[in-house]
Amino acid sequence: MSDERIVETHTESPAWTLPAVVVLGLIAIGGLAFGWNASSKLDATQQAVTAQLKTAEQAVQQDLSSVKDRLAQDEKANSDIQGDLKVVTGKLKITQGQLKKAREEAAKLNNATTEKLTALDTTMHSELASKASNDDVKVVDTKVVGVKTDLDATREDLKMARSEMGTLIARNHDEIDQLRRMGERDYVEFTIVGRNKPQKVGNVTVELKGVNEKRNQFSAAMTVEDKQFEKKNRAMNEPIFFYTSGAHIAEELVVNKVGKNTISGYVSIPKANSQTAATTKSGN
């Protein structure tokens, strides 16, 4: 019996095969994961873009709808305005016609009135010419002017205040001139600047003692015929009355302006006092 030998052949794989397979497997798995991730991101991006497009489309639709509504309102308003314009135009035509007619009638009335006034004026002049001579007319004109002057003077007098003696009180230089024109009294105006500086005003000496500008008050010393008396805290436009020897009518000192250490005003002397003083001097 022959011996049969079974020869077993063992083939050994190289050592690097397994690691290479593992690496390739990992690479394949990584590629699959990357691809899945990229696909997921792409889907999410597509969904976001789609949502934004839908939102934009809705906004555009709303804007278009709003614009359409506004256009419709504008068209309606324009139509209403055109209708109103037609109505106003029609009424205006009527009004213009009526106005033209009224103007024509007014012109006729004016012409007729003018003719009547002209005729009346002519008639009056004729009657005046027949009833009065030119001298009579001049006399009447003179009387009218005199009455007008008296009325103007009375009107001006009413604007001035009166003292307790019934005399008019002038508040400024213009009113003093008005009183002068009346011819009843003499007026001596004055301005005193500074305290304790006696100043002769008419037949009285005035010396400023103090001023209160806020209250329009002043204090002054007055010397009349060697007799001195002081008036304290007197108001502006408040007359100070005093008498001279032999006079029966009081004289007045009025301060109508008060400033810083200064006063202005006038002394009012009745004409009768001047005549009495002249008579007294001549008798002496």
pLDDT at 259: 93
pLDDT at 64: 76
Most confident of 165-169, 267-271, 276-280: 267-271
- Compute how many other C-beta atoms are within 10 angstroms of the C-beta atom of residue 270: 18
pLDDT at 99: 62
pLDDT digits 0-9 by tens, 167-177: 889 999 999 99
Give the span between the Cα atoms of 23 and 279, in whole angstroms.
156
Q: Which residues contact 251 (CB under 8 A, 6 or more apart)?
A: 202, 203, 204, 241, 242, 243, 244, 267, 268, 269, 270, 273
Cβ atoms 218, 211 nearer than 8 A: yes
What average pLDDT does this structure show over 101-122?
67
pLDDT at 178: 92
> Tokens at residue 77, please?
């308003």
Is residue 93 very low, low, confident or very high in pLDDT (cuts 50, 70, 90)?
low
Strand stretches in 14-160, DSSP E? none
Residue 191, classed as helix, strand or coil, is: strand
pLDDT at 113: 63
Is residue 94 very low, low, confident or very high in pLDDT (cuts 50, 70, 90)?
low
Cβ atoms 179, 167 nearer than 8 A: no
Q: Which residues contact 184 (CB under 8 A, 6 or more apart)?
A: 270, 271
Whether 154 has a pLDDT exceeding 70, the answer reads no
Q: What's the pTM value of the predicted model, to 2 decimals?
A: 0.44
Q: Please state which CATH class domain 163-283 belongs to.
A: mainly beta
Q: Count the residues in the chain.
A: 284
Give the span between the Cα atoms of 110 and 101, in whole angstroms.
14
Give the span between the Cα atoms of 219 and 206, in whole angstroms.
10
pLDDT at 7: 47
